[in-house]
Chain A
Amino acid sequence: SQTIHQWPATLVQPVGSPLSLECTVEGTSNPNLYWYRQAAGRGLQLLFYSVGIGQISSEVPQNLSASRPQDRQFILSSKKLLLSDSGFYLCAWSARTGVATGELFFGEGSRLTVL
Chain B
Amino acid sequence: SQQGEEDPQALSIQEGENATMNCSYKTSINNLQWYRQNSGRGLVHLILIRSNEREKHSGRLRVTLDTSKKSSSLLITASRAADTASYFCATDILYSGNTPLVFGKGTRLSVIA
Contact = CB atoms under 8 A, between A and B. Distances in A.
Interface of A: 6, 32, 34, 36, 41-44, 46, 49, 51, 59, 88, 90, 92, 94, 96-109, 111
Give 7 closest A-B pairs by Cβ, nearest first.
A106-B42, A100-B30, A43-B105, A101-B92, A44-B103, A106-B43, A103-B45
Contacts of B33: 103-104
B42 A101 contact: no
Contacts of A111: 40
A97 B43 contact: no
A104 B102 CA distance: 11
B88 interface: yes
A41 B39 CA distance: 10
Nearest to B105: A43
Q: Which of B35, B43, B108 has the most CB of A within 10 A?
A: B43
A106 B38 CA distance: 12
A61 B90 CA distance: 22
Q: Which of B48, B90, B100 has the most CB of A within 10 A?
A: B100
Given A43-B103, A99-B30, A101-B30, A109 B41 contact: yes
A59 B42 CA distance: 21
10 contacts: A6-B42, A32-B98, A42-B105, A43-B103, A43-B105, A44-B88, A94-B98, A99-B95, A100-B30, A108-B42
Nearest to B47: A103
B44 interface: yes
Interface in B66-81: none
A101 B105 contact: no
A32 B99 CA distance: 9
A108 B106 CA distance: 18
B58 interface: no
Nearest to A41: B108
A105 B1 CA distance: 23
A28 to B, nearest CB: 14
B100 A46 contact: yes
Contacts of A100: 30-31, 50, 92, 97
